């Protein structure tokens, strides 16, 4: 089944189908650009895409060439699809394309951009919700999303997409069609891999430090394994594939009091997909999808993945139905 047939069969909203289809077209172009990184400019017409563009985004990250190009491609796709509002990691404020537009989109146009030059998988994350749920110029609770997904640009370009009930995976074929994969995307309740940036261990709060100590030295040591790619989409994709947990917790550094990752265009869309695949996604106290949105670039601690494996870090009230 190709993506457009899946969209027709799984949403009654032409606007939603058109928006996702337009994002897919933009993703094909972004994947092509990423594959040209570092080629002589006369061949690809592009400067080195991993190079710092000399600007900084609202979260203080150096913007890479590909961050900016991806953001522009996403904007053009959304305008073509008639989307009303756009919230981007790369834009300080929301953009209004059409006040009458039915839908709004939040996006991390290029996730994992520190990995562009290392040829590790990177991606584009998106969250789609009704424009009339925007309040005080901000998106609604993550629970209100109509759809969410991400494209991962790696050995395969793959789209993981959900309307809330299931997660569907589409791989890009050589002739540039997204075709549904024979993969039932379900996250097992128990697994043994954990993903955390262990170089921050000195700053972890005791609960995280004790949990990781147990995995390395304690009862879990025989079975635990660790992976950390440093691209949220790549670490998340592995967890959709074989389970495990991802931790980017708050830590004792003032700038990391709320972790590193952003609620609106990273945690909310990932959490929407994770819950649809039977996993849990939490800020350590409550489900990510129930978190109040107080600012466009607000950060949140982000713990997600296999429910039973993550349970020791979550309040007993917080587990998937």
Decide which of ligand AHG, Mn ion, none touches 107; Cβ closer than 5 to 8 Å per partner kind.
Answer: none
Q: Which residues of 194-228 are buried (b: 16+ CB within 10 A; e: fewer)?
A: bbbeeebeeebeeebeebbeebeeeebeeebeeee
Comparing CB distances to ligand AHG, the nearer of 71 and 275 is 71
- By CB under 6 A, residue 287 contacts ligand AHG: no
Nearest to ligand AHG of 147, 267 (CB atom): 267
Nearest-approach distance from CB 57 to Mn ion, in angstroms? 8
Nearest distance, CB of residue 146 and ligand AHG, angstroms:
23
Show Cβ contacts of residue 202 under 8 Å, excluding neighbours closer than 6 positions.
none
Q: What mask, x for binding ligand AHG by CB under 6 A, covers residues 247 to 276?
A: -------------x----------------
Residue 112 as a binder of ligand AHG (CB under 6 A): the answer is: yes
**Ranges within 83-102 binding Mn ion (CB under 5 A):** 89
Residues 71-110 that bind ligand AHG (CB under 6 A): 89, 108
Q: How many chain residues are in contact with Mn ion, going by CB under 5 A? A: 4
Rounded to a whole number of angstroms, the CA Rg of the chain reads 19
Picked from Mn ion, ligand AHG, none, the partner binding residue 90 (CB below 5 to 8 A depending on kind) is: none
The residue from 71, 111, 251, 275 that contacts ligand AHG (CB under 6 A) is 111
User: Which residues are catalytically annotated?
Assistant: 61, 67, 89-90, 108, 110-111, 266
Q: Could you tell me if 149 and 273 are in contact, meaning their C-beta atoms sit under 8 angstroms apart?
A: yes
# residues contacting ligand AHG (CB under 6 A): 12
**Of residues 89 and 251, the one with the C-beta less far from Mn ion:** 89
Q: How far apart are CA 321 and CA 317, in angstroms?
A: 11
Judged by CB under 5 A, does residue 71 bind Mn ion? no
Least separation in angstroms between CB 110 and Mn ion:
5
Q: Which is it for strands 103-111 and 122-130: parallel, antiparallel or unpaired?
A: antiparallel
Query: For residues 214-243, which are near ligand AHG according to CB under 6 A?
Result: 230-232
Residue ranges in contact with ligand AHG by CB under 6 A: 61, 89, 108, 111-114, 197, 230-232, 260
């Amino acid at each position: 089944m190709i993506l457009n047939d899946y969209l027709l069969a799984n949403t009654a909203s032409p606007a939603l189908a058109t928006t996702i289809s337009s994002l897919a077209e933009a993703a094909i172009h972004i994947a092509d650009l990423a594959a040209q990184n570092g080629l002589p400019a006369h061949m690809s017409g592009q400067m080195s895409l991993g190079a710092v563009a000399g600007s900084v985004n609202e979260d203080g990250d150096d913007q890479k060439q590909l961050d900016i190009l991806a953001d522009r491609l996403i904007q053009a796709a959304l305008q073509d699809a008639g989307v009303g509002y756009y919230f981007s990691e790369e834009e300080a404020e929301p953009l209004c394309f059409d006040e009458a537009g039915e839908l709004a989109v939040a996006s991390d146009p290029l996730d994992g951009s520190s990995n562009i030059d290392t040829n590790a998988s990177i991606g584009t994350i998106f969250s789609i919700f009704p424009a009339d749920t925007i309040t005080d110029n901000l998106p609604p609770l993550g629970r209100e999303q109509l759809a969410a997904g991400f494209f991962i640009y790696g050995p395969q370009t793959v789209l993981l997409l959900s309307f809330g009930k299931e997660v569907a995976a589409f791989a890009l074929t050589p002739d540039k069609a997204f075709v549904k994969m024979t993969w039932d995307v379900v996250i097992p309740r128990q697994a043994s891999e954990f993903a955390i940036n262990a170089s921050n261990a000195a700053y972890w709060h005791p609960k995280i430090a004790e949990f990781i100590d147990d995995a390395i030295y304690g009862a879990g040591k025989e079975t635990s394994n660790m992976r950390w790619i440093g691209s949220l989409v790549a670490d998340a994709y592995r967890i959709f594939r074989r389970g495990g947990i991802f931790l980017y917790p708050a830590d004792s550094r003032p700038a990391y009091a709320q972790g590193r990752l952003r609620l609106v265009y990273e945690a909310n869309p990932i959490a929407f997909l994770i819950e649809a695949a039977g996993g849990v996604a939490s800020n350590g106290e409550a489900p990510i999808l129930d978190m109040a949105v107080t600012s466009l670039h607000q950060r949140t601690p982000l713990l997600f993945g296999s429910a039973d494996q993550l349970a020791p870090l979550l309040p007993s009230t917080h587990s998937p139905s």
